[in-house]
Structure 1
Amino acid sequence: MKRFLCMFALILTVCITLLFAACQPFVSKGPEAANGVMDFRETDFHSEVYALDGEWELYYGKLYTPQDFQMGLAEGREYIDLPGPWIKKGYPGLGYALSGLLHYLRKWKPYNRIYLYRAPHLCRKKAV
C-alpha cells in the first residue's frame, strides 16, 4: 500500500508539472507600447506571436471611426496599461470605450505578409 501511494504521488507530481508547462503562453516578449505606439521596426519576427502589452490609447465613452481620426475630430484621449481594467482610471466596470494602438512595421519583401491581432479578453468591433 505504501508503495502504491508513493507511485501515485510521483505520477501525480509529473502530471501536474507537465500540465503547468503546457499551459505557459507561447508569446514572445516584443517591444512594449508607449503613448499608444508600438514600434516593430527593429523586431526580427523570429516568433509568430508577440504580446501587445503596454500603454494604449483609450477614449472612454466614445466610438470613433478611422475618418474621425483623419479629420482630427477624436477628443478625450487618455492612456491605459493593457492588459488591465479601465477601473484603475476611475471609470465604472460596465461601459464602452475605444482603445487603439499604432504599429510601426518595416517593409517586407514579399509584401503579402499577413498579421493577425487577437485580443480574447476584449469584446470589440475593430477596423485595422
Structure 2
Amino acid sequence: MGVEIIEFDREHAVARMPVEGNTQPIGLLHGGAYCVLGESLGSMHANYLAGEGRVAVGVDINATHTGSATSGWVTGTCRVIHAGRTLTVHEIVVTDDNGRRCSTLRITNLIRDAK
C-alpha cells in the first residue's frame, strides 16, 4: 500500500499513501485504500494509548468518501475523539495533495489485557 508515517505523538498521527497502485479500474483511489490508511492510523494510535501489557483491537470502522484522489498522495490525519480505559475512538481525515478532504473515517478500538 506504500503507507509512510509522517508524525506520531500522544495527540495525533499522520501518514501518507500514494494513489498510484491503490486505484480502482477507473483510476480513482479505491475506497478500501482509504480504509486501510484510516484503520492503520487509528489502530496504531489506540495501541500506543493502551499502554504496557494492554492491546487495542478494532470493533468498528466507518468511512464516508466525499472526494476522489486520482494522482499524487493522500494524507491521513488521525485525532483522538475519546481515550477511555476500555475504548478509544479516533477520527481520521484524509486529504489529497491540494488539501481537499476525500474521506472521513471513525474507528473504535476495544482496549483489553494482552494475553
Could you state the TM-score of these two structures normalised by the residue count of structure 1?
0.29
Which protein has greater RCO, CA pairs closer than 8 Å, 6+ apart?
A: 2
User: Which is strand-richer, 1 or 2?
Assistant: 2
User: Which structure has the larger Rg over C-alpha atoms?
Assistant: 1
User: Which is helix-richer, 1 or 2?
Assistant: 1
Could you state the TM-score of these two structures normalised by the residue count of structure 2?
0.31
